[in-house]
Chains A and B, each alone.
Chain A
């Protein structure tokens, strides 16, 4: 067996080990079955979505547009994952071990990238495969080449994400490692890129629903990268094949070369040469604790980038609403209701964005090897909890305040602004506490890099599901029982207050016990 194969097998064993859990190990087969079941579940979900799309647009002869939707969605997700994966680190827990073995550095890097590739492949498959298959099913003539080229895209597109993350990691390491505020900049740059990508996506997908068959090709041409992939799938010309190969091969090759150059190396960090040691005056322990939490959040790129989309989205949507007015929202929601009643929909959208902002649900897991320190401090557990709960409030609450103020301006009503702020801030506190409870319940204290905690841990998944359910329950009640928006708002506030009381009690009773029983 070649070294690369041995390392790939090792990465696979590690992946399965993660699924099997820390101490109570399931059999390998059970873990694989669970993984496959999860994949099938998501695949079914996206298949239904693509089926719905082809039912509408496919019958109008716009099947290619549906595939284009699949391509642009997959490309966006793949690029977002690539950006979110940037850690600015040159070492992993096993880098010393691997580098001491008689293996080429290139093989180590490729094996490391392979597990990332597999992760992205799963998303590419789930997001794009249903559209390719559905196109073939609904197309008047079956084309094997479109099917094959479609699947070639699925197989190779994730390499783009992996390549981009490697290149960005190199740039971030080289540029910021030795800067005074390097750790903050390492978080900020991927965040800014993410914002840029989201803005681009919004611009490029606007007017998507109004595409006519005649202008479809023009619409595609205006979106260069997605169009190149679409051309590769449908036209299969030499130029399109070479372009696709270039799009995929260039970033991944550069990424590997750059990573070989930095992997395992110490680049040094900013050193303050001032030898005048001046300790600050004594501060309350809680203040230190809170500052530590804030610093952890703003200096961990994966943590910040993966949780900042919600707050940015809240501000972006509220600005969009103020600019476009209530009419555009009514059009978008396909409802015709009084402007004041729209408030509840706005609050729901804000809450759904908060639902994806899982800051507290990873705050315990991120302590990892420093957990012993937290536990050994002469501090009440409640103080530790509160310091962790304050971070999401500091990050998200100002954005809900801005959004509420903008809604108030748009609707010329202070009362409605206060209502939005009340519902959203209540929901924020509620999900914040719930996230911490879930993380105490399902902590992940053994990890190699923060991305595994922030993106791939069970506590994040559970938090998102519970947050989503809590956000939509009131709407479901309103729809089922056909009650008025005002009454729905009152029920929502009542329900949230009740849940808030329950979760707070749960956190400071059972949560404290869970914390004491945690083993790092």
Chain B
């Protein structure tokens, strides 16, 4: 579903943010992308979803090259940013309508999907209020709903659990599991290693722009906890 081949991103000031990394996420995978602050997680994610350009390598989504056909790639992706900075002056409904319009979701489907996910995440009473009145967690829930209503094949999430209450966090994890069970793939960054360990079947650890460990969860952590593996890997670099 997602292939990152020899990906390198160098900022215009010469700083190498990500250095020649390769990863593969297949259908049915929940792939955790972990690393310390400034390791290159968000830079990679932003290139995967077509926000940032990159210098070398290839990013292929569902068989399509993001550089060659960015619009076609984005049609099958949903992106959930680390900071849900969304239009404060719109209502939740207006925001969801915008996303549904862009992804050509018909009226009946958008209504049923919005109702379904808003009820699951406990946001149905707030959807007609301006987004400016939402808390961080509510904004995060709204962005999550917008991601699930257009049937993406790949969901790319940057710190998706930040700001969510325990109930919503549990619901999101359940939705994620259901999503990959239906053939989707999820690639997400997180600092909550316990969640990554329990939820994901694959993991990659990035530090200073380089992948220092990658593979199935069992391969990477072996008989240790993910936290221990992470701390040891980062300390050895």
**Chain A residues engaging chain B, CB cutoff 8 angstroms:** 1, 3, 6, 9-10, 13-14, 16-18, 20, 22-23, 25, 93-97, 99-104, 178, 264-269, 271, 446
Please determine whether B90 and A266 come into contact, CB atoms closer than 8 angstroms: no
A18 CA / B90 CA spacing, docked (Å): 9
Please determine whether B87 and A17 come into contact, CB atoms closer than 8 angstroms: yes
23 residue pairs A–B, Cβ–Cβ below 8 Å: A1-B101, A3-B102, A9-B101, A10-B87, A10-B98, A13-B98, A14-B89, A16-B89, A17-B91, A20-B89, A22-B88, A22-B130, A23-B133, A25-B130, A96-B81, A99-B51, A100-B51, A100-B79, A102-B71, A103-B71, A178-B12, A265-B53, A266-B52
A25 CA / B89 CA spacing, docked (Å): 10
Please determine whether A94 and B74 come into contact, CB atoms closer than 8 angstroms: no
When A25-B130, A178-B13 are in contact, do A97 and B74 touch as well, CB less than 8 Å? no
Count: A-B pairs, CB below 8 Å: 92
Which of chain B's residues have a CB closer than 8 A to the CB of A265? 52-53
CB distance from B192 to the nearest CB of A (A): 22
Q: Select which of B52, B98, B132 is within 8 A of A23 by beta carbon.
A: B132
A266 CA / B50 CA spacing, docked (Å): 13
CB-CB contacts below 8 Å: B182-235 with A: none
A13 CA / B51 CA spacing, docked (Å): 24
A77 CA / B72 CA spacing, docked (Å): 42
Which of chain B's residues have a CB closer than 8 A to the CB of A271? 13, 15
Quick one: closest A residue to B83, CB to CB? Answer: A96
A16 CA / B91 CA spacing, docked (Å): 11
Please determine whether A103 and B12 come into contact, CB atoms closer than 8 angstroms: no
Please determine whether A93 and B85 come into contact, CB atoms closer than 8 angstroms: yes
Quick one: closest A residue to B78, CB to CB? Answer: A100
Q: Select which of A3, A16, A264, A266 is within 8 A of B11 by beta carbon.
A: A266
Most buried by A among B12, B73, B103: B12
Please determine whether B94 and A13 come into contact, CB atoms closer than 8 angstroms: yes
Whether B77 sits at the interface, judged by CB under 8 Å, is yes
Whether B49 sits at the interface, judged by CB under 8 Å, is yes
Please determine whether A264 and B51 come into contact, CB atoms closer than 8 angstroms: yes
Residue-wise interface mask of B (128-144) relative to A, using a CB-CB cutoff of 8 A (1 in contact, 0 not): 00101100000000000
Tell me whether chain A's interface is mostly helix, strand or loop, or mixed: loop
When A6-B98, A23-B132, A96-B81 are in contact, do A104 and B71 touch as well, CB less than 8 Å? yes
Whether B46 sits at the interface, judged by CB under 8 Å, is yes
Which of chain A's residues have a CB closer than 8 A to the CB of B101? 1, 6, 9
Please determine whether A102 and B81 come into contact, CB atoms closer than 8 angstroms: no
Whether B68 sits at the interface, judged by CB under 8 Å, is no
Which of chain B's residues have a CB closer than 8 A to the CB of A9? 98, 101
A10 CA / B229 CA spacing, docked (Å): 46
A100 CA / B47 CA spacing, docked (Å): 10
Known: A99-B51, A101-B74, A446-B132. 9 other contacts (CB 8 A): A6-B101, A17-B91, A23-B133, A95-B51, A97-B81, A100-B50, A100-B81, A103-B74, A268-B12
Q: Select which of B12, B74, B90 is within 8 A of A13 by beta carbon.
A: B90
Quick one: closest A residue to B128, CB to CB? Answer: A25
Residue-wise interface mask of B (36-54) relative to A, using a CB-CB cutoff of 8 A (1 in contact, 0 not): 0000000000100111110
CB distance from A30 to the nearest CB of B (A): 15
A1 CA / B12 CA spacing, docked (Å): 38
CB distance from A467 to the nearest CB of B (A): 28
Whether B75 sits at the interface, judged by CB under 8 Å, is yes
Q: Select which of A1, A18, A178, A268 is within 8 A of B89 by beta carbon.
A: A18
CB distance from A442 to the nearest CB of B (A): 15
A446 CA / B102 CA spacing, docked (Å): 25
A93 CA / B88 CA spacing, docked (Å): 10
Please determine whether B51 and A96 come into contact, CB atoms closer than 8 angstroms: yes
Q: Which 9 A-B pairs have the closest CB atoms?
A: A17-B89, A102-B74, A268-B12, A268-B13, A100-B79, A102-B75, A6-B101, A99-B51, A100-B49
Quick one: closest B residue to A266, CB to CB? Answer: B11
